[in-house]
Amino acid sequence: RLLGHQQEINNLKERNIVLNEENVHLKNECSNLNQKFKDKSQELKDTEECAQKKEEQNRLVIKNLEEENKGLNTRCADLLNDLEKLRKQEAQWKIEISGTDTKIKNLENDLTETREQMKELHSKCSKLSSQLAVKQEELSQKDYDMTRARQELLELQNLYRQNIEYTAQQAEMIQQLQTLNTD
């Protein structure tokens, strides 16, 4: 029986050695796994921190984009208002241009009529100028005739005075002759 116990003790010792080796191996493996776990935990922590930072950055980017979007919406609304004003102004200008075109057409018609009237007046002016030239020629001739008539009248008046003087002298002489004759 002792031998059986000794054998069992040896078996247990061997088993203990094997278990110790297995235990060392498991401890090493456990230590390796713990180290891997720590590394993975650190990696996870780093990843979570990085994800947090990214999320924070994304929040800031989203916030900035939202503010920019508000600004762009405001700008867009302003531009739409400006566009509406410009469309109204364009419509007003079209009305004004249409009115101006009508005025231009009316003025062109008036100008055409005025040109026709000017042609007629120019033609009348030419006729009147011709008539005036003829009348001036006649007037010049009448002035000349009148000047000659005045000269003739002056000459006649001189002759008449001379004739009156002569007649007076003759009357005086006749008187003197009658007086002499009476004497």
Q: Can you tell me the distance from the alpha carbon of 62 to that of 75, in angstroms, rounded to the nearest whole number?
A: 19
Q: Can you tell me the distance from the alpha carbon of 111 to that of 97, in angstroms, rounded to the nearest whole number?
A: 20
| Number of other CB atoms surrounding residue 23 within 10 Å | 12
Residue 128: strand, helix, or coil: helix
Lowest mean pLDDT among 2-11, 83-92, 167-176: 2-11
Q: What is the amino acid identity at position 11?
A: N
Q: What's residue 27's pLDDT?
A: 92
Task: Dump the DSSP string for 93-127.
Answer: HHHHHHHHHHHHHHHHHHHHHHHHHHHHHHHHHHH
Structural element, H or E, at residue 71: helix 2-182
Q: Can you tell me the distance from the alpha carbon of 139 to that of 144, in angstroms, rounded to the nearest whole number?
A: 8
What's 183's DSSP letter?
Answer: -
Q: What is the mean pLDDT of residues 134-145?
A: 93
Q: What is the pLDDT of residues 36-83, one digit of tens each?
A: 999 999 999 999 999 999 999 999 999 999 999 999 999 999 999 999
Percent of the chain with pLDDT over 90: 78
Q: What is the mean pLDDT of residues 10-20?
A: 86
Q: Can you tell me the distance from the alpha carbon of 148 to that of 73, in angstroms, rounded to the nearest whole number?
A: 104
The pTM score is 0.39
Does residue 1 surpass a pLDDT of 70?
Answer: no
Question: Which one is predicted more confidently, 4 or 107?
Answer: 107
Q: What's residue 12's pLDDT?
A: 83
Please classify residue 18 by burial: count the beta carbons closer than 10 Å to its beta carbon, then call 0-12 exposed, 13-18 middle and 19+ buried. exposed
